[in-house]
């Protein structure tokens, strides 16, 4: 019998799953691909759990046909994947490597043949190492390089892919990559963090224009943001000011220019001791502020903050890994607290109300803009039982709770068009290596055998 919740979604709602190139493809030295910052970072001792790398990952590059067959078996109506920049443009500039693009052409053809809508993300964190050597995202030129790359991929796939995302979670690229250093390229420079954020914004704007110049007008261009739901520990004005600061650094720094054409003045004030923002040049904000066709929201857990009474001791409870360097420039006076409640294997509190809150916020802030949940999911310590089945009732409960929040938001007037579960299958969870399993499909890392978990079967039923 269909679940009454999932049966109540609009008929055209997309039931998808998401992955990203470095997390699943492997084949890092094949067909002309060169290292990205994640190859370099993961091969640097001490940067990832157990020294894990994406060298083989789950070998999707060679197994994509079987993976697409699995998606069809799970009745997915859409699949969100990312293109590996160094596979397509190994030095980050100049002409494309056709054999690299061919992989994505074949993948898209396979999806379309099975009636699964492809959704392409152009950048999910794998900057060609040569561009990092030239300065990386803190350098303005990287934004122009991204626009060139966007045009290349748009031209190659724009005739058969309608859903496009420029960047995935640029917050992580800037603040974890250049601030706390827990992500590639592992730099810890607060000023470079904010420069990187601006150039990612510029890359999004220039990339959007480059895509539109080469693609049919019917295609949708969006960006996927891991917008934070930031809550105060108390109603004390100092705690509310802490919320404002983190909201600016997590959300305003991207939504401001992308949705409204300006950075929040309070962001400039809060970061004045870190940077003077003089790299925001005349015309940049207009370039960033392109009309969007949709907005992608990635949600996992809310944040709980207060003003710091004294110097905070102990690890930061912001859920973004451990580093002696804060990813939050100009916010040393803010303390992160663990939100009460049950947690996933990542230590992230399960709170579907945060997803509802987020959707309603962007329904108000960007009226008329269709929304997609482009990532949502949970890591658990899944293990096969003696019969080889993987039962993950916690993940089913997680998905049910979050889909209920989406459903409630639709009832409250939000225009949510689809949901992409993170992730289709277990994969390389960045600095955590292969230890954290987010997949609806279990991957045996010794044999690379794929086994749908019970959550995958539940989700398939929902999708049907």
List, in order, residues 6 or more apart from 193 with CB less than 8 Å away: 174, 175, 178, 179, 327, 329
- Indicate whether 110 belongs to the interface with ligand IFM (CB under 6 A): no
Question: Catalytic: 139?
Answer: no
**C-beta of 298: minimal distance to ligand IFM in Å?**
6
**C-beta of 228: minimal distance to ligand IFM in Å?**
13
**C-beta of 58: minimal distance to ligand IFM in Å?**
13
By CB atoms closer than 10 A (0-12, 13-18, 19+), residue 290 is buried
Q: How far apart are CA 388 and CA 452, in angstroms?
A: 10
Indicate the residue among 40 and 266 with the shorter CB distance to ligand IFM. Answer: 40
Among 121, 166, 298, 349, binds ligand IFM (CB under 6 A): 298
Q: Helix or strand or coil: residue 269?
A: helix
Is residue 177 within 8 Å of 256, Cβ to Cβ?
A: no
Indicate the residue among 48 and 298 with the shorter CB distance to ligand IFM. Answer: 298
273: part of which helix (H) or strand (E)?
Answer: none
Q: How far apart are CA 195 and CA 426, in angstroms?
A: 33
**C-beta of 437: minimal distance to ligand IFM in Å?**
11
Q: How far apart are CA 74 and CA 129, in angstroms?
A: 36
- Indicate whether 254 belongs to the interface with ligand IFM (CB under 6 A): no
Query: Per the residue annotation, which of 25, 110, 139, 375 is the catalytic one?
Result: 375
**C-beta of 127: minimal distance to ligand IFM in Å?**
14
CA 102, 106, 109, 115 torsion-angle sign: negative
Q: How far apart are CA 268 and CA 285, in angstroms?
A: 15
Q: How far apart are CA 275 and CA 194, in angstroms?
A: 8
Q: How far apart are CA 361 and CA 357, in angstroms?
A: 6
Q: Which of residues 138-197 bind ligand IFM (CB under 6 A)?
A: 169
Q: How far apart are CA 32 and CA 41, in angstroms?
A: 20
**C-beta of 375: minimal distance to ligand IFM in Å?**
5
Residue written as tokens 């470079």?
Answer: 192
Question: Catalytic: 375?
Answer: yes
Other C-beta atoms closer than 10 Å to the C-beta of 434 total 19
- Indicate whether 20 belongs to the interface with ligand IFM (CB under 6 A): yes
- Indicate whether 375 belongs to the interface with ligand IFM (CB under 6 A): yes
Which phi and psi angles does 109 have, rounded to 5°? -60, -40
Q: How far apart are CA 440 and CA 459, in angstroms?
A: 8
Query: Per the residue annotation, which of 169, 357, 394, 429 is the catalytic one?
Result: 169
- Indicate whether 318 belongs to the interface with ligand IFM (CB under 6 A): no
Q: Which of residues 424-463 bind ligand IFM (CB under 6 A)?
A: 429, 438
Is the backbone peptide bond immediately before 423 cis, with ω within 30 degrees of 0?
Answer: yes
Question: Number of residues in contact with ligand IFM, rule: CB under 6 A?
Answer: 8
**C-beta of 438: minimal distance to ligand IFM in Å?**
6
Indicate the residue among 20 and 89 with the shorter CB distance to ligand IFM. Answer: 20
List, in order, residues 6 or more apart from 50 with CB less than 8 Å away: 433, 434, 435
Among 336, 380, 422, 458, binds ligand IFM (CB under 6 A): 422
Mutual orientation of helices 352-365 and 393-411 as an angle, nearest 10°? Answer: 30
> Which residues sit at the interface with ligand IFM, rule CB under 6 A?
20, 23, 169, 298, 375, 422, 429, 438
Q: Indicate which residues carry an active-site annotation.
A: 169, 375
């Amino acid at each position: 019998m269909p679940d009454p919740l999932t049966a109540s979604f609009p008929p055209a709602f997309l039931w998808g799953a998401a992955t990203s190139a470095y997390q699943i493809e492997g084949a890092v030295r094949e067909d002309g691909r060169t290292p990205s910052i994640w190859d370099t970072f993961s091969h640097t001792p001490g940067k990832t759990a157990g020294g894990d790398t994406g060298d083989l990952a789950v070998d999707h590059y060679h197994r994509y046909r079987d993976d697409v067959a699995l998606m069809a078996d799970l009745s997915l109506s859409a699949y969100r994947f990312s293109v590996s920049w160094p596979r397509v443009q190994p030095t980050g500039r100049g002409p494309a490597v056709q054999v690299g693009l061919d992989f994505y052409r074949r993948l898209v053809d396979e999806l379309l043949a099975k009636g699964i809508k492809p959704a392409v993300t152009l950048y999910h964190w794998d900057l060609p190492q040569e561009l990092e050597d030239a300065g990386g995202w803190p350098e303005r030129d990287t934004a122009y390089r991204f626009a060139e790359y966007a045009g290349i991929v748009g031209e190659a796939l724009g005739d058969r892919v309608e859903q496009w995302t420029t960047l995935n979670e640029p917050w992580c690229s800037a603040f974890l990559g250049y601030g706390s250093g827990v992500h590639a390229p592992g730099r810890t420079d607060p000023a470079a963090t904010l420069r990187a954020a601006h150039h990612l914004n510029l890359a999004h704007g220039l990339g959007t224009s480059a895509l539109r110049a080469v693609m049919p007008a019917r295609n949708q261009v969006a960006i996927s943001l891991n917008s934070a739901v930031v809550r105060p520990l108390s109603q004390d004005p100092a705690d509310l000011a802490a919320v404002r600061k983190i909201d600016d650094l997590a959300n305003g720094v991207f939504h401001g220019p992308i949705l409204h054409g300006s950075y929040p003045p309070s962001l400039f004030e809060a970061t004045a001791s870190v940077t003077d923002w003089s790299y925001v040049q005349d015309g940049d904000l207009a370039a960033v502020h392109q009309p969007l066709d949709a907005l992608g929201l990635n949600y996992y857990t809310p944040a709980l903050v207060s003003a710091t009474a004294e110097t905070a001791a102990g690890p930061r409870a912001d859920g973004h890994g451990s580093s002696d360097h804060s990813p939050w420039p100009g916010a040393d006076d803010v303390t992160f607290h663990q939100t009460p409640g049950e947690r996933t294997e990542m230590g992230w509190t399960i709170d579907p109300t945060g997803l509802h809150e987020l959707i309603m916020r962007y329904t108000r802030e960007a009226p008329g803009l269709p929304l997609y949940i482009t990532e949502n999911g949970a890591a658990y310590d899944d293990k096969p039982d003696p019969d080889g089945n993987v039962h993950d009732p916690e993940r089913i409960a997680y998905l049910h709770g979050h889909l209920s929040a989406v459903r409630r938001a639709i009832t409250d007037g939000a225009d949510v068009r689809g949901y992409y579960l993170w992730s289709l299958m277990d994969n390389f969870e960045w600095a955590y290596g292969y230890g954290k399993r987010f997949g609806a499909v279990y991957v045996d890392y010794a044999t690379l055998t794929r086994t749908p978990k019970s959550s995958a079967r539940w989700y398939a039923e929902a999708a049907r």
